[in-house]
Structure 1
Amino acid sequence: MIYIGLTGWGDHPDVYEEHSSKQDKLKDYSGHFPIVELDASFYAVQPERNMRKWVDETPSAFKFIVKAYQGMTGHQRGDISFDSREEMFQAFRLSLLPMIESDKLGAVLLQFPPWFDCKKQHVDYIRYCKSKLEGLPLAVEFRHQSWYAPEFREKTLDFLRQQQFIHSVCDEPQAGDGSIPLVPVVTNEQTTVFRLHGRNTAGWTRKGNENNWREVRYLYEYREQELKDLVPVLQGLDRDSRHVYVLFNNNSGGHAAKNAKQMIELLGLDYGGLAPRQLGLF
Protein backbone atom coordinates (compact mmCIF):
# COMPACT_ATOMS: atom_id res chain seq x y z
CA MET A 1 0.00 0.00 0.00
CA ILE A 2 1.22 3.49 -0.86
CA TYR A 3 0.69 6.16 1.79
CA ILE A 4 1.21 9.80 0.82
CA GLY A 5 1.81 12.75 3.11
CA LEU A 6 3.99 15.77 3.82
CA THR A 7 7.02 16.71 5.88
CA GLY A 8 5.59 18.46 8.92
CA TRP A 9 2.05 19.71 9.43
CA GLY A 10 2.60 23.32 10.46
CA ASP A 11 3.09 25.05 7.09
CA HIS A 12 0.37 23.79 4.78
CA PRO A 13 -2.47 26.36 4.68
CA ASP A 14 -4.37 24.37 2.05
CA VAL A 15 -5.29 21.68 4.58
CA TYR A 16 -6.46 23.78 7.55
CA GLU A 17 -10.06 24.54 8.35
CA GLU A 18 -11.04 28.20 8.11
CA HIS A 19 -11.23 28.93 11.83
CA SER A 20 -8.64 26.46 13.09
CA SER A 21 -6.10 27.50 15.70
CA LYS A 22 -2.44 26.58 15.72
CA GLN A 23 -3.28 23.74 18.09
CA ASP A 24 -5.72 22.24 15.55
CA LYS A 25 -3.31 22.00 12.63
CA LEU A 26 -2.38 18.34 13.10
CA LYS A 27 -6.03 17.35 13.51
CA ASP A 28 -6.89 19.20 10.30
CA TYR A 29 -3.90 17.70 8.50
CA SER A 30 -4.91 14.16 9.44
CA GLY A 31 -8.21 14.67 7.66
CA HIS A 32 -6.28 14.86 4.37
CA PHE A 33 -3.28 12.53 4.69
CA PRO A 34 -2.58 9.23 6.50
CA ILE A 35 1.09 9.91 7.33
CA VAL A 36 3.38 12.78 8.27
CA GLU A 37 7.08 13.30 8.82
CA LEU A 38 7.83 14.62 12.30
CA ASP A 39 10.61 17.19 11.98
CA ALA A 40 10.54 18.60 15.53
CA SER A 41 12.40 15.49 16.69
CA PHE A 42 15.37 16.49 14.52
CA TYR A 43 15.90 19.74 16.41
CA ALA A 44 15.32 18.36 19.91
CA VAL A 45 14.49 15.03 21.50
CA GLN A 46 10.82 15.51 22.23
CA PRO A 47 9.32 15.11 25.70
CA GLU A 48 6.88 12.24 26.09
CA ARG A 49 3.97 14.66 26.60
CA ASN A 50 4.43 16.06 23.08
CA MET A 51 4.58 12.62 21.50
CA ARG A 52 1.50 11.49 23.41
CA LYS A 53 -0.39 14.64 22.44
CA TRP A 54 0.32 14.06 18.75
CA VAL A 55 -0.67 10.41 19.03
CA ASP A 56 -3.95 11.38 20.70
CA GLU A 57 -4.75 13.98 18.04
CA THR A 58 -4.56 11.56 15.11
CA PRO A 59 -6.73 8.65 13.89
CA SER A 60 -5.85 5.11 14.93
CA ALA A 61 -4.34 4.15 11.54
CA PHE A 62 -2.22 7.31 11.23
CA LYS A 63 1.56 6.89 11.01
CA PHE A 64 4.53 9.12 11.87
CA ILE A 65 7.91 9.05 10.16
CA VAL A 66 10.08 10.39 12.98
CA LYS A 67 13.26 12.17 11.94
CA ALA A 68 16.20 11.20 14.14
CA TYR A 69 17.70 13.87 16.38
CA GLN A 70 20.45 15.84 14.65
CA GLY A 71 23.05 14.87 17.24
CA MET A 72 22.55 11.23 16.30
CA THR A 73 23.16 11.76 12.58
CA GLY A 74 26.08 14.17 12.69
CA HIS A 75 24.27 17.35 11.68
CA GLN A 76 24.72 19.18 14.97
CA ARG A 77 27.72 21.45 15.25
CA GLY A 78 29.45 21.67 18.59
CA ASP A 79 28.52 19.74 21.72
CA ILE A 80 25.34 17.71 22.07
CA SER A 81 23.02 18.50 24.97
CA PHE A 82 23.61 15.11 26.60
CA ASP A 83 26.37 13.79 28.84
CA SER A 84 27.13 10.94 26.44
CA ARG A 85 26.20 9.54 23.06
CA GLU A 86 24.59 6.56 24.77
CA GLU A 87 22.38 8.83 26.86
CA MET A 88 21.34 10.71 23.71
CA PHE A 89 20.24 7.54 21.93
CA GLN A 90 18.46 6.25 25.02
CA ALA A 91 16.54 9.51 25.45
CA PHE A 92 15.47 9.46 21.81
CA ARG A 93 14.37 5.84 22.04
CA LEU A 94 12.31 6.53 25.17
CA SER A 95 10.64 9.49 23.46
CA LEU A 96 9.17 7.10 20.88
CA LEU A 97 7.25 4.98 23.41
CA PRO A 98 3.84 6.65 22.88
CA MET A 99 4.10 6.03 19.13
CA ILE A 100 5.35 2.48 19.56
CA GLU A 101 2.59 1.63 22.05
CA SER A 102 -0.10 3.06 19.74
CA ASP A 103 1.38 1.40 16.62
CA LYS A 104 1.80 4.81 14.99
CA LEU A 105 5.53 4.65 14.36
CA GLY A 106 5.99 4.12 10.63
CA ALA A 107 9.78 4.55 10.69
CA VAL A 108 12.66 6.41 12.26
CA LEU A 109 14.45 8.38 9.56
CA LEU A 110 18.24 8.48 9.91
CA GLN A 111 19.08 11.20 7.41
CA PHE A 112 22.83 11.63 7.22
CA PRO A 113 24.38 14.95 6.15
CA PRO A 114 26.00 15.77 2.79
CA TRP A 115 29.51 15.36 4.26
CA PHE A 116 28.74 11.80 5.47
CA ASP A 117 30.42 9.98 2.61
CA CYS A 118 30.94 6.29 1.87
CA LYS A 119 33.82 5.04 3.99
CA LYS A 120 34.36 2.37 6.63
CA GLN A 121 34.17 4.79 9.56
CA HIS A 122 30.69 5.86 8.49
CA VAL A 123 29.52 2.32 7.75
CA ASP A 124 30.59 1.39 11.28
CA TYR A 125 28.68 4.35 12.68
CA ILE A 126 25.49 3.24 10.91
CA ARG A 127 25.95 -0.17 12.54
CA TYR A 128 26.31 1.61 15.88
CA CYS A 129 23.04 3.48 15.31
CA LYS A 130 21.29 0.18 14.68
CA SER A 131 22.71 -1.35 17.83
CA LYS A 132 21.28 1.52 19.88
CA LEU A 133 17.90 1.47 18.12
CA GLU A 134 17.58 -2.29 17.67
CA GLY A 135 14.06 -3.49 16.96
CA LEU A 136 12.83 -0.18 15.55
CA PRO A 137 11.97 0.34 11.87
CA LEU A 138 15.01 2.34 10.72
CA ALA A 139 15.15 4.19 7.40
CA VAL A 140 18.50 5.40 6.09
CA GLU A 141 18.82 8.39 3.79
CA PHE A 142 22.18 9.34 2.35
CA ARG A 143 22.98 12.80 1.04
CA HIS A 144 26.44 12.16 -0.38
CA GLN A 145 26.60 10.76 -3.89
CA SER A 146 29.49 8.41 -3.12
CA TRP A 147 27.12 5.82 -1.61
CA TYR A 148 25.66 5.29 -5.09
CA ALA A 149 28.87 5.61 -7.10
CA PRO A 150 29.29 2.68 -9.54
CA GLU A 151 31.88 0.97 -7.34
CA PHE A 152 29.74 1.25 -4.16
CA ARG A 153 26.09 1.22 -5.29
CA GLU A 154 25.41 -2.52 -4.98
CA LYS A 155 27.48 -2.79 -1.81
CA THR A 156 25.46 0.03 -0.26
CA LEU A 157 22.17 -1.63 -1.15
CA ASP A 158 23.38 -5.06 0.00
CA PHE A 159 24.45 -3.54 3.32
CA LEU A 160 21.01 -2.02 3.81
CA ARG A 161 19.37 -5.37 2.96
CA GLN A 162 21.60 -7.39 5.28
CA GLN A 163 20.95 -5.01 8.16
CA GLN A 164 17.24 -4.79 7.31
CA PHE A 165 17.40 -1.02 7.00
CA ILE A 166 14.58 0.71 5.15
CA HIS A 167 15.84 2.46 2.03
CA SER A 168 14.91 6.13 1.87
CA VAL A 169 14.61 6.72 -1.87
CA CYS A 170 14.89 10.36 -2.92
CA ASP A 171 13.81 12.51 -5.81
CA GLU A 172 15.99 15.60 -5.72
CA PRO A 173 18.16 17.85 -7.92
CA GLN A 174 21.26 16.27 -9.37
CA ALA A 175 23.80 18.77 -8.15
CA GLY A 176 27.10 17.09 -7.44
CA ASP A 177 28.38 15.23 -4.38
CA GLY A 178 25.79 16.74 -2.06
CA SER A 179 22.87 15.08 -3.82
CA ILE A 180 21.95 11.49 -4.59
CA PRO A 181 20.39 9.90 -7.69
CA LEU A 182 16.94 8.36 -7.81
CA VAL A 183 17.55 4.72 -6.82
CA PRO A 184 14.11 3.08 -6.52
CA VAL A 185 15.28 -0.13 -4.83
CA VAL A 186 13.57 -1.87 -1.91
CA THR A 187 15.87 -3.17 0.83
CA ASN A 188 13.22 -4.06 3.42
CA GLU A 189 10.15 -5.98 2.26
CA GLN A 190 8.01 -4.43 4.99
CA THR A 191 8.67 -0.73 4.38
CA THR A 192 10.16 1.74 1.92
CA VAL A 193 10.33 5.53 2.30
CA PHE A 194 10.23 7.85 -0.72
CA ARG A 195 10.96 11.54 -0.12
CA LEU A 196 10.43 14.20 -2.79
CA HIS A 197 12.62 17.25 -2.29
CA GLY A 198 11.82 19.00 -5.58
CA ARG A 199 14.15 19.59 -8.50
CA ASN A 200 15.37 23.12 -7.88
CA THR A 201 19.00 22.60 -8.90
CA ALA A 202 19.96 26.27 -8.57
CA GLY A 203 18.38 26.49 -5.12
CA TRP A 204 19.95 23.22 -3.98
CA THR A 205 23.48 24.50 -4.50
CA ARG A 206 22.92 28.15 -3.61
CA LYS A 207 24.29 29.24 -0.27
CA GLY A 208 21.51 31.03 1.58
CA ASN A 209 21.87 32.50 5.03
CA GLU A 210 21.06 30.40 8.08
CA ASN A 211 17.50 31.68 8.22
CA ASN A 212 16.38 31.10 4.64
CA TRP A 213 18.48 28.31 3.11
CA ARG A 214 15.60 25.84 3.50
CA GLU A 215 13.19 28.19 1.71
CA VAL A 216 15.64 28.49 -1.18
CA ARG A 217 16.45 24.79 -1.46
CA TYR A 218 12.92 23.37 -1.42
CA LEU A 219 11.19 25.95 -3.60
CA TYR A 220 9.73 23.80 -6.36
CA GLU A 221 6.38 22.75 -7.83
CA TYR A 222 6.28 19.42 -9.60
CA ARG A 223 4.65 19.57 -13.01
CA GLU A 224 1.90 17.06 -13.69
CA GLN A 225 4.04 15.16 -16.19
CA GLU A 226 6.86 14.87 -13.65
CA LEU A 227 4.42 13.31 -11.20
CA LYS A 228 3.08 10.98 -13.89
CA ASP A 229 6.64 9.85 -14.61
CA LEU A 230 7.00 8.86 -10.96
CA VAL A 231 3.81 6.76 -10.88
CA PRO A 232 5.45 3.58 -12.27
CA VAL A 233 8.37 4.12 -9.89
CA LEU A 234 6.05 4.11 -6.89
CA GLN A 235 4.07 1.18 -8.25
CA GLY A 236 7.31 -0.79 -8.60
CA LEU A 237 8.24 -0.06 -4.98
CA ASP A 238 4.72 -1.05 -3.94
CA ARG A 239 5.12 -4.47 -5.57
CA ASP A 240 8.24 -5.20 -3.53
CA SER A 241 7.38 -3.56 -0.20
CA ARG A 242 4.31 -3.90 2.02
CA HIS A 243 4.24 -0.23 3.00
CA VAL A 244 5.53 2.65 0.87
CA TYR A 245 5.58 5.98 2.71
CA VAL A 246 5.76 8.91 0.27
CA LEU A 247 6.61 12.34 1.69
CA PHE A 248 6.54 15.62 -0.23
CA ASN A 249 9.16 18.04 1.09
CA ASN A 250 8.84 20.77 -1.58
CA ASN A 251 6.95 23.21 0.60
CA SER A 252 8.91 26.45 0.44
CA GLY A 253 6.27 27.92 -1.86
CA GLY A 254 3.35 25.93 -0.45
CA HIS A 255 3.43 23.35 -3.27
CA ALA A 256 3.74 20.14 -1.26
CA ALA A 257 0.07 19.63 -0.35
CA LYS A 258 -1.11 20.30 -3.90
CA ASN A 259 1.45 17.92 -5.41
CA ALA A 260 0.69 15.23 -2.82
CA LYS A 261 -3.02 15.38 -3.65
CA GLN A 262 -2.23 15.22 -7.34
CA MET A 263 -0.22 12.06 -6.75
CA ILE A 264 -3.03 10.51 -4.71
CA GLU A 265 -5.35 11.14 -7.65
CA LEU A 266 -2.89 9.82 -10.23
CA LEU A 267 -2.49 6.59 -8.24
CA GLY A 268 -6.22 6.26 -7.63
CA LEU A 269 -5.78 6.02 -3.86
CA ASP A 270 -8.65 6.32 -1.41
CA TYR A 271 -7.70 6.37 2.26
CA GLY A 272 -10.15 5.21 4.86
CA GLY A 273 -9.81 6.14 8.51
CA LEU A 274 -8.81 9.75 8.07
CA ALA A 275 -9.92 12.31 10.64
CA PRO A 276 -13.38 13.73 9.94
CA ARG A 277 -13.38 17.18 8.38
CA GLN A 278 -15.61 19.99 9.57
CA LEU A 279 -18.65 20.53 7.39
CA GLY A 280 -20.07 23.96 6.64
CA LEU A 281 -23.64 24.83 7.57
CA PHE A 282 -24.73 24.90 3.92
Structure 2
Amino acid sequence: MPQGRTDALNRPLQQHPAAPVKAARVGCAGWATPRPYRTLFGEGSSVLSRYATRFPIVEINSSFYRPHRLETYARWAASVPAGFRFSVKLPRLISHDLALRGAAPPLEAFLAQTRGLGRHLGGYLLQLPPSHAFDARVASVFFRLLRRRTQAPCACEPRHASWFTEKADALMREHGISRVAADPAVVPAAATPGGHPGWPYWRWHGAPRMYYSDYDEAALAALAADIAASQAATSPWIIFDNTAHGFATANAARLQEIVRTRAARKRGRA
Protein backbone atom coordinates (compact mmCIF):
# COMPACT_ATOMS: atom_id res chain seq x y z
CA MET A 1 0.00 0.00 0.00
CA PRO A 2 1.42 3.48 -0.87
CA GLN A 3 2.94 5.31 2.10
CA GLY A 4 0.75 8.40 1.62
CA ARG A 5 -2.40 6.33 1.76
CA THR A 6 -1.21 4.51 4.89
CA ASP A 7 -0.39 7.81 6.62
CA ALA A 8 -3.80 9.22 5.77
CA LEU A 9 -5.56 6.17 7.11
CA ASN A 10 -3.56 6.19 10.30
CA ARG A 11 -4.82 9.60 11.38
CA PRO A 12 -6.71 9.07 14.66
CA LEU A 13 -10.48 9.15 14.41
CA GLN A 14 -12.79 10.09 17.25
CA GLN A 15 -15.04 7.35 18.56
CA HIS A 16 -18.06 7.15 16.28
CA PRO A 17 -21.52 8.32 17.35
CA ALA A 18 -24.59 6.26 16.62
CA ALA A 19 -25.07 6.50 12.87
CA PRO A 20 -27.94 8.72 11.75
CA VAL A 21 -30.72 7.24 9.66
CA LYS A 22 -29.68 6.72 6.01
CA ALA A 23 -25.98 7.23 6.79
CA ALA A 24 -23.84 4.50 5.27
CA ARG A 25 -22.45 2.17 7.92
CA VAL A 26 -19.09 0.61 7.11
CA GLY A 27 -17.34 -2.29 8.78
CA CYS A 28 -15.56 -5.60 8.37
CA ALA A 29 -16.17 -9.32 8.50
CA GLY A 30 -14.80 -9.92 11.98
CA TRP A 31 -13.29 -7.42 14.36
CA ALA A 32 -9.56 -7.95 13.92
CA THR A 33 -7.35 -4.89 14.32
CA PRO A 34 -4.33 -5.75 12.14
CA ARG A 35 -1.01 -4.42 13.38
CA PRO A 36 -0.31 -2.06 10.43
CA TYR A 37 -3.60 -0.25 11.17
CA ARG A 38 -3.68 -0.26 14.97
CA THR A 39 -3.53 3.53 15.12
CA LEU A 40 -6.93 3.67 13.41
CA PHE A 41 -8.49 2.51 16.66
CA GLY A 42 -8.95 3.96 20.11
CA GLU A 43 -8.37 2.29 23.44
CA GLY A 44 -10.53 -0.53 24.72
CA SER A 45 -10.59 -3.49 27.07
CA SER A 46 -10.82 -6.05 24.24
CA VAL A 47 -10.16 -6.32 20.52
CA LEU A 48 -13.90 -5.88 19.87
CA SER A 49 -14.17 -2.77 22.02
CA ARG A 50 -11.16 -1.26 20.24
CA TYR A 51 -12.61 -2.13 16.85
CA ALA A 52 -15.86 -0.42 17.89
CA THR A 53 -14.05 2.89 18.43
CA ARG A 54 -13.67 3.12 14.65
CA PHE A 55 -16.49 1.16 13.02
CA PRO A 56 -20.22 1.11 13.91
CA ILE A 57 -20.96 -2.39 12.53
CA VAL A 58 -19.38 -5.82 12.26
CA GLU A 59 -20.28 -9.10 10.64
CA ILE A 60 -19.96 -12.24 12.79
CA ASN A 61 -18.73 -14.98 10.46
CA SER A 62 -17.63 -17.49 13.10
CA SER A 63 -21.29 -18.41 13.66
CA PHE A 64 -21.18 -20.01 10.20
CA TYR A 65 -18.69 -22.60 11.45
CA ARG A 66 -19.68 -23.20 15.06
CA PRO A 67 -22.41 -22.21 17.54
CA HIS A 68 -21.86 -19.59 20.23
CA ARG A 69 -23.59 -19.54 23.59
CA LEU A 70 -26.18 -16.87 24.36
CA GLU A 71 -23.83 -15.62 27.07
CA THR A 72 -21.07 -15.13 24.51
CA TYR A 73 -23.29 -12.97 22.33
CA ALA A 74 -24.35 -11.03 25.44
CA ARG A 75 -20.71 -10.43 26.37
CA TRP A 76 -19.98 -9.08 22.91
CA ALA A 77 -23.02 -6.80 23.07
CA ALA A 78 -21.90 -5.46 26.45
CA SER A 79 -18.52 -4.39 25.07
CA VAL A 80 -19.71 -2.03 22.31
CA PRO A 81 -21.31 1.45 22.22
CA ALA A 82 -25.08 1.94 22.14
CA GLY A 83 -25.24 2.56 18.39
CA PHE A 84 -23.11 -0.41 17.39
CA ARG A 85 -24.76 -3.29 15.50
CA PHE A 86 -23.87 -6.86 14.57
CA SER A 87 -24.96 -8.93 11.60
CA VAL A 88 -24.75 -12.67 12.23
CA LYS A 89 -24.09 -15.26 9.57
CA LEU A 90 -26.41 -18.26 9.59
CA PRO A 91 -24.71 -21.61 10.21
CA ARG A 92 -23.43 -23.63 7.29
CA LEU A 93 -25.50 -26.52 8.64
CA ILE A 94 -28.57 -24.60 7.47
CA SER A 95 -27.28 -22.97 4.28
CA HIS A 96 -24.92 -25.64 2.95
CA ASP A 97 -25.41 -29.02 4.61
CA LEU A 98 -29.22 -28.95 4.73
CA ALA A 99 -29.54 -26.63 1.73
CA LEU A 100 -32.40 -24.81 3.55
CA ARG A 101 -34.45 -28.04 3.87
CA GLY A 102 -35.66 -29.34 7.23
CA ALA A 103 -33.87 -26.49 8.97
CA ALA A 104 -36.33 -25.66 11.76
CA PRO A 105 -34.40 -27.23 14.72
CA PRO A 106 -30.98 -25.68 13.96
CA LEU A 107 -32.59 -22.38 13.01
CA GLU A 108 -34.45 -22.17 16.31
CA ALA A 109 -31.28 -22.98 18.24
CA PHE A 110 -29.31 -20.37 16.32
CA LEU A 111 -31.91 -17.63 16.80
CA ALA A 112 -32.14 -18.41 20.51
CA GLN A 113 -28.38 -17.99 20.88
CA THR A 114 -28.25 -14.68 19.02
CA ARG A 115 -30.89 -13.16 21.29
CA GLY A 116 -27.95 -12.46 23.56
CA LEU A 117 -27.13 -9.50 21.31
CA GLY A 118 -30.35 -7.76 22.33
CA ARG A 119 -30.74 -4.32 20.74
CA HIS A 120 -27.29 -4.66 19.16
CA LEU A 121 -28.57 -7.21 16.64
CA GLY A 122 -28.57 -5.56 13.24
CA GLY A 123 -29.78 -8.57 11.29
CA TYR A 124 -28.89 -11.94 9.81
CA LEU A 125 -26.80 -12.91 6.80
CA LEU A 126 -27.64 -15.99 4.75
CA GLN A 127 -24.85 -16.92 2.34
CA LEU A 128 -25.66 -19.72 -0.08
CA PRO A 129 -23.11 -21.96 -1.82
CA PRO A 130 -22.38 -21.50 -5.54
CA SER A 131 -24.05 -24.87 -6.18
CA HIS A 132 -27.39 -23.78 -4.69
CA ALA A 133 -29.65 -23.02 -7.66
CA PHE A 134 -32.86 -21.09 -7.09
CA ASP A 135 -35.80 -23.32 -6.19
CA ALA A 136 -38.87 -21.21 -5.48
CA ARG A 137 -40.53 -23.83 -3.28
CA VAL A 138 -37.46 -24.50 -1.14
CA ALA A 139 -36.69 -20.81 -0.76
CA SER A 140 -40.29 -19.89 0.05
CA VAL A 141 -40.60 -22.60 2.71
CA PHE A 142 -37.38 -21.51 4.37
CA PHE A 143 -38.16 -17.80 4.26
CA ARG A 144 -41.59 -18.45 5.81
CA LEU A 145 -39.90 -20.58 8.46
CA LEU A 146 -37.51 -17.73 9.23
CA ARG A 147 -40.19 -15.06 9.28
CA ARG A 148 -42.40 -17.01 11.67
CA ARG A 149 -39.51 -16.88 14.14
CA THR A 150 -38.01 -13.43 13.64
CA GLN A 151 -38.77 -10.15 11.93
CA ALA A 152 -35.15 -9.00 12.15
CA PRO A 153 -33.61 -7.81 8.88
CA CYS A 154 -32.12 -10.58 6.76
CA ALA A 155 -29.79 -10.30 3.78
CA CYS A 156 -29.21 -13.21 1.43
CA GLU A 157 -26.07 -13.64 -0.67
CA PRO A 158 -26.86 -16.20 -3.39
CA ARG A 159 -23.94 -17.25 -5.57
CA HIS A 160 -25.71 -19.13 -8.35
CA ALA A 161 -26.77 -17.20 -11.46
CA SER A 162 -30.34 -18.54 -11.27
CA TRP A 163 -31.10 -16.29 -8.28
CA PHE A 164 -30.74 -13.08 -10.26
CA THR A 165 -34.16 -13.03 -11.87
CA GLU A 166 -37.33 -11.07 -11.27
CA LYS A 167 -39.03 -14.20 -9.91
CA ALA A 168 -36.35 -14.68 -7.26
CA ASP A 169 -36.32 -10.95 -6.45
CA ALA A 170 -40.10 -10.92 -6.07
CA LEU A 171 -39.97 -13.88 -3.69
CA MET A 172 -37.38 -12.16 -1.54
CA ARG A 173 -39.41 -8.95 -1.49
CA GLU A 174 -42.50 -10.92 -0.45
CA HIS A 175 -40.68 -12.30 2.60
CA GLY A 176 -38.73 -9.17 3.49
CA ILE A 177 -35.36 -10.63 2.45
CA SER A 178 -32.74 -8.28 1.00
CA ARG A 179 -30.26 -9.49 -1.61
CA VAL A 180 -26.61 -8.68 -1.02
CA ALA A 181 -24.61 -6.65 -3.52
CA ALA A 182 -21.41 -8.67 -3.84
CA ASP A 183 -17.98 -8.17 -5.30
CA PRO A 184 -16.81 -10.14 -7.19
CA ALA A 185 -20.25 -10.45 -8.78
CA VAL A 186 -21.24 -13.81 -10.30
CA VAL A 187 -23.41 -11.93 -12.83
CA PRO A 188 -23.73 -8.15 -13.38
CA ALA A 189 -26.97 -7.98 -11.38
CA ALA A 190 -25.19 -9.42 -8.33
CA ALA A 191 -23.21 -6.17 -7.96
CA THR A 192 -26.25 -4.17 -6.87
CA PRO A 193 -28.68 -4.72 -3.98
CA GLY A 194 -31.90 -6.55 -4.78
CA GLY A 195 -34.84 -8.25 -3.15
CA HIS A 196 -36.47 -6.29 -0.35
CA PRO A 197 -35.11 -2.71 -0.14
CA GLY A 198 -35.26 -2.56 3.65
CA TRP A 199 -31.62 -3.46 4.29
CA PRO A 200 -29.19 -2.45 1.52
CA TYR A 201 -26.13 -4.62 2.12
CA TRP A 202 -22.83 -4.66 0.21
CA ARG A 203 -20.23 -7.41 0.78
CA TRP A 204 -16.88 -6.85 -0.91
CA HIS A 205 -14.68 -9.93 -0.73
CA GLY A 206 -11.60 -8.69 -2.57
CA ALA A 207 -10.94 -8.74 -6.32
CA PRO A 208 -9.44 -10.23 -8.33
CA ARG A 209 -8.36 -12.62 -5.57
CA MET A 210 -11.17 -13.15 -3.08
CA TYR A 211 -10.27 -12.51 0.57
CA TYR A 212 -6.75 -11.34 -0.36
CA SER A 213 -6.88 -8.46 -2.84
CA ASP A 214 -6.80 -4.79 -1.88
CA TYR A 215 -9.24 -2.28 -3.40
CA ASP A 216 -7.71 0.82 -4.94
CA GLU A 217 -8.94 4.38 -4.61
CA ALA A 218 -10.92 4.28 -7.84
CA ALA A 219 -12.86 1.18 -6.76
CA LEU A 220 -13.70 2.67 -3.36
CA ALA A 221 -14.77 5.98 -4.92
CA ALA A 222 -17.03 4.10 -7.33
CA LEU A 223 -18.54 2.16 -4.43
CA ALA A 224 -19.21 5.39 -2.54
CA ALA A 225 -20.96 6.77 -5.62
CA ASP A 226 -23.10 3.64 -5.93
CA ILE A 227 -24.08 3.89 -2.28
CA ALA A 228 -25.03 7.55 -2.68
CA ALA A 229 -27.04 6.76 -5.82
CA SER A 230 -28.99 3.99 -4.11
CA GLN A 231 -31.27 6.49 -2.32
CA ALA A 232 -31.72 3.96 0.46
CA ALA A 233 -34.52 4.62 2.93
CA THR A 234 -32.49 2.95 5.68
CA SER A 235 -28.79 2.94 6.48
CA PRO A 236 -26.85 0.92 3.90
CA TRP A 237 -24.34 -1.57 5.29
CA ILE A 238 -20.98 -2.10 3.61
CA ILE A 239 -18.87 -5.01 4.81
CA PHE A 240 -15.33 -5.72 3.64
CA ASP A 241 -14.41 -9.40 3.72
CA ASN A 242 -10.91 -9.19 2.19
CA THR A 243 -9.40 -9.94 5.58
CA ALA A 244 -6.55 -12.32 4.71
CA HIS A 245 -3.90 -9.56 4.60
CA GLY A 246 -5.82 -6.98 6.64
CA PHE A 247 -6.95 -4.95 3.64
CA ALA A 248 -10.56 -5.07 4.86
CA THR A 249 -9.61 -2.71 7.68
CA ALA A 250 -7.79 -0.26 5.41
CA ASN A 251 -10.53 -0.33 2.77
CA ALA A 252 -13.32 0.16 5.30
CA ALA A 253 -11.53 3.08 6.93
CA ARG A 254 -10.84 4.73 3.60
CA LEU A 255 -14.43 4.27 2.43
CA GLN A 256 -15.59 5.93 5.65
CA GLU A 257 -13.50 8.97 4.78
CA ILE A 258 -14.76 9.10 1.20
CA VAL A 259 -18.40 8.83 2.28
CA ARG A 260 -17.98 11.50 4.95
CA THR A 261 -16.22 13.86 2.55
CA ARG A 262 -19.01 13.43 0.00
CA ALA A 263 -21.63 14.09 2.67
CA ALA A 264 -19.82 17.23 3.87
CA ARG A 265 -19.60 18.57 0.32
CA LYS A 266 -23.28 17.90 -0.20
CA ARG A 267 -24.14 19.77 3.00
CA GLY A 268 -21.94 22.64 1.87
CA ARG A 269 -23.73 22.90 -1.46
CA ALA A 270 -27.08 22.87 0.36
Shorter chain as denominator, the TM-score bin is 0.7 to 0.9
Q: 1:109 matched to which residue of 2?
A: 125
User: What is the CA-CA distance between 1:185 and the residue it aligns to?
Assistant: 3.4
Q: 2:67 aligns with which of 26, 32, 45?
A: 45
Q: 1:91 matched to which residue of 2?
A: 109
Three-state SS of the structure 2 residue aligned to 1:93 is helix
Q: 1:241 aligns with which of 233, 242, 249?
A: 233
Which amino acid letter does the alignment assign opposite residue 246 of structure 2? G
Partner Cα distance (1:129, 1:13) in 2: 42
Q: 1:267 aligns with which of 230, 255, 259?
A: 259
- Residues 186 and 233 of structure 1: CA distance in aligned 2, closer, same or farther (over 3 Å): same
Three-state SS of the structure 2 residue aligned to 1:6 is strand
Cα distance per residue 1:198-250 (max 9 Å; x no partner): 112xx4xxxxxxxxxxxxx311000101111122211123x133121110011
- Residues 21 and 241 of structure 1: CA distance in aligned 2, closer, same or farther (over 3 Å): closer
- Residues 269 and 47 of structure 1: CA distance in aligned 2, closer, same or farther (over 3 Å): farther
| Matching of residues 121-160 of structure 1 within 5 Å | 121-131=137-147, 133-148=149-164, 153-160=165-172
| Matching of residues 1-282 of structure 1 within 5 Å | 1-10=23-32, 12-16=34-38, 24-75=46-97, 85-99=103-117, 101=118, 103-131=119-147, 133-148=149-164, 153-172=165-184, 174=186, 181-200=189-208, 203=209, 217-237=210-230, 239-268=231-260
**Which is helix-richer, 1 or 2?**
2
In structure 1, stretches of 5+ residues that fail to align are 78-83, 204-216, 271-282
Partner Cα distance (1:115, 1:24) in 2: 38
What TM-score comes out, normalization by structure 1 length?
0.75
Partner Cα distance (2:235, 2:43) in 1: 32
Contact 1:188 1:241 in 2 (8 A): no
Identity of aligned residues (%): 23
Cα distance per residue 1:8-63 (max 9 Å; x no partner): 01363345479x99971101100110000011211122101110110011111100
Three-state SS of the structure 1 residue aligned to 2:50 is helix
Three-state SS of the structure 2 residue aligned to 1:110 is strand
RMSD between aligned residues: 2.8
Q: 2:10 matched to which residue of 1?
A: none
Which amino acid letter does the alignment assign opposite residue 167 of structure 1? R
Partner Cα distance (1:17, 1:222) in 2: 20
Partner Cα distance (2:123, 2:152) in 1: 7
Query: What is the number of residues matched between the two proteins?
Result: 237
Contact 2:184 2:207 in 1 (8 A): yes
Cα distance per residue 1:67-91 (max 9 Å; x no partner): 01111112579xxxxxx84321111
User: What is the CA-CA distance between 1:181 and the residue it aligns to?
Assistant: 4.6
Three-state SS of the structure 2 residue aligned to 1:106 is strand
Which amino acid letter does the alignment assign opposite residue 135 of structure 2? K
